[in-house]
Amino acid sequence: MRSGKWGTVLGSVMLCAPLSVLAHTGQDLHFSFYSGFVHPVGGTDHLLVLLGVGFWAASQGKASSRVIPGLFLVAMGLPAVFPVVGVGGTTEVVIAVSVVATGLLLWFEDRYPVIPGTLLVLVFGFFHGQAHVAEIPAGVAAEAYAAGFLVASALLQTLGVCLGRWDRPAFGQFFSVLCGGAGMIWLAAA
């Protein structure tokens, strides 16, 4: 298959795959490993950022393609230990901004410095984690849910790294435009 067709194929799959555009609809109140595992795939916002972070990490070199996704996961887990109170709607705005910024990182690929890009990725990870923590009601043991979404997030980032190593020109351009456009729409709606 020629690389020009990959955008069409991937776009078609992504349009069919997500259950909703935003992962945090307030309806996912089952805190099992399974619901945590399907959560990142169930919302296009998470899907784009997780694939995009892995893809961008691949463009930064072999070592970065291992370290950056791991740092994202650590940052995503931090709000479970250090929750931020009072950010409310700000979290969803930052998540929408993270989709746009992921598109920009992908657009500039290896021309964007790795340290500032990694710091952006850490902020994205923290707020994606904050969105998860904010939805957990008091008194619920959510360890299985957290394990599920961390495992799924790691797998999606690994897929992004693999796509980035396999056919970067075709996927990079498509992802950057998709992330930028989708993020701008979500920002306008937020």
Q: Where are the domains of the chain?
A: 53-189
Which residues of the chain fall below pLDDT 70?
1-30, 84-89, 137-141, 168-172, 190
Report pLDDT for 115: 92
Residue where the block lists tokens 């340290």: 115
Give the pLDDT score at 67: 95
Q: Which residue has the tokens 């020629």?
A: 2
Tokens at residue 77, please? Answer: 């887990």
CA distance 150 to 138: 21
d(CA 52, CA 164): 9
DSSP one-letter code for 32: S
Provide the pLDDT for residue 2: 46
Contact at 8 Å (CB) between 26 and 135? Answer: yes
Give residue 152's pLDDT: 93
Residue 118 and residue 70 in contact, taking contact as beta carbons nearer than 8 Å: no
